[in-house]
Structure 1
Amino acid sequence: MTSGLVLAYRLQTEPLVRASVALALDQGATSLNHASAFDLWIDYNTQLLGEAQRRRELLPYSTYLQWQSC
């Protein structure tokens, strides 16, 4: 199961996760640093994809790391 599927499931079943995402995406919350949350998410997923690529676990359509050089 991928982290994306886990997040999708938790968004449907856990009110705290939904509220956290809503707060992170709230354009009116000017006192929050939205960039850091997105940067952490990008870094986390880049590391996961890099490890999966090294283990040759990526499917042909999921070679995100190839897109980074574009």
Structure 2
Amino acid sequence: MLKQAGFSKLEMERFLLILVKEPDATNKQVELLTAKRQQILRKIHCREQQIDKIDYLRYKISQKRS
């Protein structure tokens, strides 16, 4: 499931290692999941901005053709 969620091999190892080494494993795992979620959202936001710029350029070009 972690791989499908975008975790690298190193991130998966860290996540599982927490179970063995951390007394408060649940909180630490939630922190890692939250950090990964934020990382993915930043990438999505960046892609959305790129799409907005492409749409703007398409709009400007189509206006010149009219």
Where on the TM-score scale, by shorter chain, does this alignment land: which range? Answer: 0.3 to 0.5
TM-score, normalised via structure 2 length: 0.41
With structure 1 as the length reference, what TM-score do the two structures score? 0.39
**Greater relative contact order (Cα < 8 A, sep 6+):** 2
